[in-house]
Chain A
C-alpha cells in the first residue's frame, strides 16, 4: 500500500457517470413530467449506447491508468490515481468542525476493475434486456421506464465505485438501493412484487444505518484529532492518528473497551451485510428475484450486491488496523457461504437457486476479505460477475423459452430444444463449480488457499473446511439445477412443449460473450503457482494491478504437495457433489423417493430455509406488527397519538388553531391589533426591565 499516492487530474471521468445518468434523466423526465413515450427503438439505442459509451470511457481511463503504471517513477510514489474534481459541493465551518465535501471521482486500480465490470457486464445485460423485455408481454408501456431505471442504476453504481469521498459513495449506495427497489417492484401490478421491493428496501435500511453511523464515527473521531476529512485520500493519510484510539463500551455491553478502528469497521460492515445479503440480513435477496431476470443478473448478482465487498476493500486500510472486525467478517462470510449453499440445494425455483448461490459466493468474497486477501476478494468478485450473470441470463433464456415457467420441477429435457442455452449454462455451471482451468477454479482456489494460510485468524481451519464443504454443496445444487432443467424427460405442461427454441439473437450473443469470459476469465488473476507451470512471470496481473490500492499478502510458500492437497480437497468435494446430483437426478431418480422419508425432516427444514424468514417473522416482524398494531397503532397511535396527540395535537393544533389560535385569528381586525399591541408591550417589558 503506497503511503501517499499522488494523483493526476482527469476531466474525462465525470462523463463515465454523466452519460448514463443523462440518458436516464432525459428519458425519465420525458416520461414522468411530460408524459411523452419515445419509440422503443430510440429508447433501446439511447440506453445501450450510453452504457457502451460509458464502457468505452472507462476503457480509455483504464488505458491511461495502465500507462501511468508503465512510467518510471520519478520519486518513490508514482501517481497511480486519476482524480476528477468537479467542484466543492459544500464547505462550511471552521476549525475542528470544518467540513468540506467535493464532488470528485477517483479512478484507481480498484475503481477501474469495478468500473469495467459494471459497464462491461452492464452493457451485455442491457443488450440482453432488449430481447428479454420484448419477449415479456406483461407490461406494454414500461420499456422506457425499465431502461430509465436500468441506466439510473448504472449511473448510481458508477458513482458508488468512482466516489472519492464517503458522502458521494453513500449517495451512490443509496442510489443503487433505490434502483433495486424500483426494479424489483417493476411489475408493481402484482402485490407480491411490490412487497418484495419494500422488503429489500427495509432490510437494507438496517445496514445503511450502520453505514451512516460508521461515516459519522469516522468523521468525528478524525475531526477530534484535528483532521476532519471525508475524502478517501485524506482519510487514508490521517487515519493513522486515530487508529489506536479506543471507545469505552457502555455497561450493558459488559464495559471494557473496543478499538475505534474495530467499531468503525464493524459499523461499515453492517452496511455491507445489508447490501451484500449476508447473514443475518440475507432474506431480501431471494425475494428480490421477483424483478425481471436481467435485473436479477445485473443488480442482484453481478454488481450491486458486490458493493459491500467493494466497500470493505476500499476501506482496507481501516480494516488493516482492525483485526477484530476482520474476524467478524471472515466468520460471517464463511458461515453465510455454507448456509446459503445448503439452502440452495432445496429450492425448486430456478432463480431462487441462483439467488442463494449468489449469497453463498458473496460469503466467499467476505471470507477472503476477512483473511486480508483483498485482491483475491476482488478477483472472485470479477469472475463471479461473469459466471453468475451468465447463469442468470441463461435461466432467463429458459424462462422466456418456456413462457415464464420458473419451477424446475416442470422443466426437464430442454437440452435438445435449447441447444445453445444449454451449452452456455454448462460453461457457467462448470465455472462456478471450479472445474480446473475455468475462471471460478482459480478464484475459489485462491480464497481457500488464503484461508488455509491465515494462521492469525481464529478458527481458520474450521473456516477452510466450511469453504470446502461449500464447494461440494455448490457442485451439488448447480448440477441439480442443470439436470432438472435440461436433462431427463420433459415435464413441461403439454400445451407448451411445441415450438421451444433458443431465444432471439440479441439475448443469445451476450450470453456467448459471457460464456467465453466465464471460461477464460481466470487468466486475469492467474495465481503465480500456475503461472510458473506455464512459464508466465507475474501471471497474477489483477493482483499486481490492485497492489497500488490494497496491501497484498505475502506470497504463500506453495509447493506442489500443498497445492495438490488444497486443489485435491476442493475437487474431491466438488466431484462428490456432482456425483450425488448425478445419482439422484439422472441415473437413479427413484432413490429420491426412497430417501424422502429418511431425509424428510432435514429436507423440509432446508426447503423452508431453516425457518429464517419465519423466525424473523416471529421474532421481529410479528411482534413489531402486533406491537405496532396493538400498542403503537391502536394504543399509542390511534389512542394516544391520533386520539390525544394528532387528533389531540391535530385537535390540539386544530383545537389550538381552531379554538385558541383561531380565536386569535378571528378575522377581526381589532383582535389582530390587540395581539399586536400585546406583543409590542411584551417586547417593551422584556427589553426595558
Chain B
C-alpha cells in the first residue's frame, strides 16, 4: 500500500464540498450586503431578498455536492484505489469510500433540496445553513475513507460540530435549542470515550493506523480490548445503537426537519461505514466475542427502538425510534460479518436513504407558517386533501416496514438471508418479530391519513423541489423493489453488484 505522497485527484470529492462550503459562506456575505445595505428596506422586501439568497446558496451547494458525487462515482467506476498520506496512509480511497461518498453526497444533495422552501417556511432562512451542511458533509467524506484513528477522529469531529449547530438552527424554538445542547453534550462525552479508547488502543498496540492495530492486536490483552470496547461505544453513539441512542428522539424531534433528514441518512451511513472498516481492518478475524457483542447491541436496538416507537405521538419522534430499530437491523449484518452481510448492509443503507429522506420530506411538505406539522393528528385526513402526498407517504412507510413490493423488503430480505447463512438465527427471529411490531406504528399513519376526517387545514402546497425529492425517492423505492439485481435499461449497473463491489474491498 505504498502511496504517492500527495494524490490530490484522490481528494477531489472532499475538495469540492470544502470549497463549496467556503464559497457559500462568502456568497452569503456578499449577497446580503448588496440586498440589505441601504435605506428604507421594508421587512417584506427583506424576506423576499432572503428567500432569493437562499435559492442561490442552495444552488451553489448543490453544484458543489454534485461535483463531489460525480468525482466519487468516476473514481468508483475506475476502480480507483489509493491511499493518501505521506508514508503512513491516513485516508484510503477505494470502492467502499467512493461508494459511501457518493451515498452521503446524495443524502446531502436531497437534504439541500428539502431546505429550499422549508427554511423560509420556518423563517430560519439564514445563509450559514448551507455552509454548515457542506462542512459536515466534508467531515463525513473524511470519515468514510479514514484508515487511521487520527483521521477517523478528525472526520468525526468535522462531521459533528456543524451538526450541533444545525440541530439548534431554529434559534427561537426551545426544542431546537434543547436538541442542540443535548446532542452536543452527549456527543462530547461520546467523543471523549472514543478518544480514550483510541489512546488505549495506541498504548496497547503502538499504532494508530488500522492495519497496524490489527498486527498489534493479535495477542489481545486487556488494554487493547478495553480500547476496542470504548471505540465501539463511541461509534455506536453516532449510529444511535441502544444503549447509546437516547439523544436520538430528542434531537430528531427538536432539530429542523431538513437537518433531521440530513443526519438521519448521512451520519448513519458514515458511522456504519467507518465502523465496518474499523472492525474488518483492525480485527480481521473478528472473534466470536465481538460478534456476540454486536449481536446483543443489535437485539437491544431492535427491541427498544420498535417498542418505544409504538408509544410516540410525534411523527419525528416515532421516526427517531424507528431509526434506532433500523440501526439494530443493520447491526444484525455486522454480527453476521460475512461478505454477503457487508453487501447487504451497504445495500440497506442505500435503500434506507430513499425511504428516510422521503418520509421526512413529507413532514417538511406539511410545514408552514413558522411551525411544523409533525404530530400524528396533523396527518389526519391528509389523503382527502393532498392525495398524492398521502400516497407517497404510505409507500415510504410500507418500505420502512419492509412490505414486499418495496425496496425496503428487498433490503431486509438480503440482510435476513445473509444472517441466516451466517447462523444468526436468534437475531433473525428478533428482526422478524420486532418488524411485526413495527407494522403497528408504521401503518398507523396511513390509517390516520386515509380513514379520519381532516381536522386542521394547512393549505401549504408541495413545492417543486419537494416534488422532485419525493418523486425520486418513490421511484427509487419502487425501482429497487424489482430491479435490485437486474438492469432493465442496459446501464450496466446493478444495485446489489455495486454494493457488493464496495464491500469487496473488505475481504
Contact of A680 with B186 in the complex, beta carbons under 8 Å: no
Contact of A653 with B232 in the complex, beta carbons under 8 Å: no
Q: Does A602 lie at the interface of the complex (its beta carbon under 8 Å from any beta carbon of B)?
A: no
Known contacts A673-B189, A676-B243: A90-B484 contact under CB 8 Å: yes
* Interface 1/0 per residue, A168-181 and B, CB below 8 Å: 00000000000000
Interface size on A, residues (CB 8 A): 41
Chain A positions 80-121 with a Cβ under 8 Å from a chain B Cβ = 86-94, 97, 103
Chain B positions 478-502 with a Cβ under 8 Å from a chain A Cβ = 482-488
The residue in A33, A34, A93, A103 that gathers the most chain B C-beta atoms within 10 A of its C-beta is A33
B49 proximity list for chain A (CB < 8 A): none
Q: Does A665 lie at the interface of the complex (its beta carbon under 8 Å from any beta carbon of B)?
A: yes
Contact of A687 with B289 in the complex, beta carbons under 8 Å: yes
Q: How far is the CA of A656 from the CA of B387 in the complex (A)?
A: 37
Contact of B417 with A687 in the complex, beta carbons under 8 Å: no
B417 proximity list for chain A (CB < 8 A): 92-93
- CB within 8 A of A672: which of B247, B413, B421? B247
Chain B positions 304-329 with a Cβ under 8 Å from a chain A Cβ = 304, 307-308, 310-311
Contact of B388 with A34 in the complex, beta carbons under 8 Å: yes
Contact of A661 with B308 in the complex, beta carbons under 8 Å: yes
Contact of A688 with B307 in the complex, beta carbons under 8 Å: no
Dominant secondary structure of chain B at its interface with chain A: helix
Q: Does B250 lie at the interface of the complex (its beta carbon under 8 Å from any beta carbon of A)?
A: yes
* Interface 1/0 per residue, B189-228 and A, CB below 8 Å: 1100100000000000000000000000000001001101
Q: Does A601 lie at the interface of the complex (its beta carbon under 8 Å from any beta carbon of B)?
A: no
Contact of A676 with B249 in the complex, beta carbons under 8 Å: no
A680 proximity list for chain B (CB < 8 A): 193, 229-230, 233
Known contacts A661-B304, A688-B226: A653-B311 contact under CB 8 Å: yes
Contact of A665 with B185 in the complex, beta carbons under 8 Å: no
* B-side interface size class: 35 or more
A94 proximity list for chain B (CB < 8 A): 421
Q: How far is the CA of A680 from the CA of B237 in the complex (A)?
A: 10
Q: Does B391 lie at the interface of the complex (its beta carbon under 8 Å from any beta carbon of A)?
A: yes
Q: Does B293 lie at the interface of the complex (its beta carbon under 8 Å from any beta carbon of A)?
A: yes
Q: How far is the CA of A683 from the CA of B311 in the complex (A)?
A: 28
* Interface 1/0 per residue, B251-270 and A, CB below 8 Å: 00000000000000000000
B243 proximity list for chain A (CB < 8 A): 675-676, 678-679, 682
B222 proximity list for chain A (CB < 8 A): 688
Chain A positions 642-685 with a Cβ under 8 Å from a chain B Cβ = 650, 653-654, 656-658, 661, 664-665, 667, 669, 671-673, 675-680, 682-684
Contact of A657 with B230 in the complex, beta carbons under 8 Å: no
Q: Does A686 lie at the interface of the complex (its beta carbon under 8 Å from any beta carbon of B)?
A: yes
Q: Does A494 lie at the interface of the complex (its beta carbon under 8 Å from any beta carbon of B)?
A: no
A667 proximity list for chain B (CB < 8 A): 250
B340 proximity list for chain A (CB < 8 A): 92
Quote the shortest CB–CB distance from B110 to chain A (angstroms): 21
A671 proximity list for chain B (CB < 8 A): 246
- CB within 8 A of B387: which of A34, A93, A653, A673? A34
A35 proximity list for chain B (CB < 8 A): 387
Q: Does A253 lie at the interface of the complex (its beta carbon under 8 Å from any beta carbon of B)?
A: no
Known contacts A34-B388, A669-B185: A90-B485 contact under CB 8 Å: yes
Q: How far is the CA of A650 from the CA of B249 in the complex (A)?
A: 19
Some 26 contacts from A to B, beta carbons below 8 A apart, are: A33-B387, A35-B387, A86-B488, A92-B340, A94-B421, A650-B310, A653-B307, A653-B308, A661-B308, A669-B181, A671-B246, A672-B247, A675-B243, A675-B246, A676-B233, A676-B246, A678-B243, A680-B229, A680-B230, A680-B233, A682-B243, A683-B230, A683-B233, A687-B229, A688-B226, A688-B229
| Chain A to chain B: the 3 pairs with minimum beta-carbon distance, closest first | A87-B486, A679-B243, A672-B246
Beyond the given A678-B243, A679-B233, please list 7 additional residue pairs across the A-B interface where CB-CB is below 8 A: A33-B388, A87-B488, A93-B421, A654-B310, A673-B186, A676-B233, A688-B229
